[in-house]
Structure 1
Amino acid sequence: MSLLSDEMQRCITDCLACYRTCLSMAMGHCLEVGGEHTKPAHFRLMMACAEICRTSAHFMLIGTPHHRHTCRECAEICEECAKDCERIGDMEDCVQACRTCAESCRRMAN
């Protein structure tokens, strides 16, 4: 029997999906397309988003109550990343993954 609630398991899944999506989009799509996709501010934001998603999932998996802090920050960064990816365009997978993760993380932060 798992010690993690269904909601926390869902958030871990959403965080890891967002991590995977942001990292693969940045390293694949963005680097291939160039232009706005590889401008430093956007690219750094995508890397920050991937890393905070991975960290939040890790904190939940190890069972530390500090996941509330990382999840709060994760939700904020994911929202920012979703908006920037939407602004640039042609990154719908990333936008959706970020929004889903932000929603899950907001619930876990409370």
Structure 2
Amino acid sequence: MPHHADPAMQECITACLDCYSTCTSMAMNHCLMLGGEHVAKDHFTLMMACAEICRTSAHFMLIGSPHHKHTCAECAEICEQCADDCERLGDMDDCVAACRACAESCRRMAA
């Protein structure tokens, strides 16, 4: 039975892919359209890092790598930072929710 058949892992994969999609879409559409603080280097880089670690964590789980615990631990940390920064800027509720859900799921997977 593949690792990702485990319901908790499947939930985490889904959360990671949702966060990847949400962060990428919001950065490339919402943030670029608004400009200002939304495209400040620190914020924009954090959003792109968040999207990429989410994609990577999902990939590690899908291929059954035992290293997924490490990527998930880092993913949880970056997602939490991204959620906090998006919340600080405001008007990014979808990103905040996706990041928090992913962080929570990845924390459980990394344990």
TM-score (norm 1): 0.98
Where 1:63 maps in the other structure, the secondary structure is coil
Return 5+ residue gaps in structure 2 as ranges. none
Deviation at 1:2, TM superposition (A): 5.3
Where 2:22 maps in the other structure, the secondary structure is helix
The residue number in structure 1 matching 2:10 is 9
1:58 and 2:79 matched? no
Provide the aligned length of Structure 1 versus Structure 2: 110
Q: Deviations over 1:69-90 (max 9, x none)?
A: 0000000000000000000000
Separation in structure 1 between the aligned mates of residue 2 and residue 56 of structure 2, nearest angstrom = 20
TM-score (norm 2): 0.97
Q: Deviations over 1:27-70 (max 9, x none)?
A: 00000000110000000000000000000000000001100000
Return 5+ residue gaps in structure 1 as ranges. none
Moved segments of 4+, more than 3 Å: none
The residue number in structure 1 matching 2:69 is 68
Residue 60 of structure 1 aligns with an amino acid whose one-letter code is M
The residue number in structure 1 matching 2:90 is 89
